[in-house]
Amino acid sequence: MKKSEKLILESTSPDEYVENSLKSRLKPAEKAKLARLWMEATGYTRDDIIRARNRNSYWRKRKMEGAAERTKRRMETHDYSQGKNIEWSREHIAEFLKLNRKDSYGRYVHRDWELAKYFGTSIPSIQYLRRKYNKVRKMLGPNSRREKIIEYMRCSELVLQHGGPKSRKRSIV
């Protein structure tokens, strides 16, 4: 057994495992075999290794390479607005709320680009609505009525920052 193989197998935590794996000059297939053996011996899972990789500076840097270009390409590919702004009426917002569900793992059932295509808008527009919806849910609480959510969703973010549509102060001049 090589020294690097022994070092990997003797790792005590996922973070240490990732560091030792990076230091070794082993081929990916050899590392995969060692990963399986290490997980069986320690009881850690693949998710533990992935979490450790995401915290590791080398892997974080590697993951972010080309992120700006990928994001720009994604935005251009999935811009269904055709240069027009969509009017978010009560009906559109109600439909958005119906489609903006999460599954049992906390992931959105419909991706940003799917909703953008459905509503004929852009990904940033959908992301804006999702942020606004999260803010409204936080303001009103989990048991709020659908009509009240729609009323608040029709407000701008600035109005929401100041407490919502009911808190608008009317000044007499």
For every residue of 73-139, DSSP letters joined together read HHHHHT--STT------HHHHHHHHHH--B-TTS-BSS-HHHHHHHHT--HHHHHHHHHHHHHHHHH
First to last CA, the chain: 85
Q: What residues make up the domain containing 87?
A: 74-167
Percent of the chain predicted with pLDDT > 90: 65
Boundary of a domain, candidates 64, 82, 106: 64
Q: Is residue 69 part of a domain?
A: no
What domain count does the chain have?
A: 2
Asked whether the predicted pLDDT for residue 142 surpasses 90, the reply is: no
Look at residue 119 in the predicted model and tell me its pLDDT: 94
Same domain, 119 and 148: yes
Q: Residue 170 pLDDT > 80, yes or no?
A: no
Residue type, 18: V
Per-residue confidence (pLDDT) for residue 11, from 0 to 100: 94
One domain, residues 141 and 84? yes
Judge if 36 and 114 occupy the same domain: no
Please give the single-letter amino acid code of residue 116.
A
Provide the pLDDT for residue 82.
83
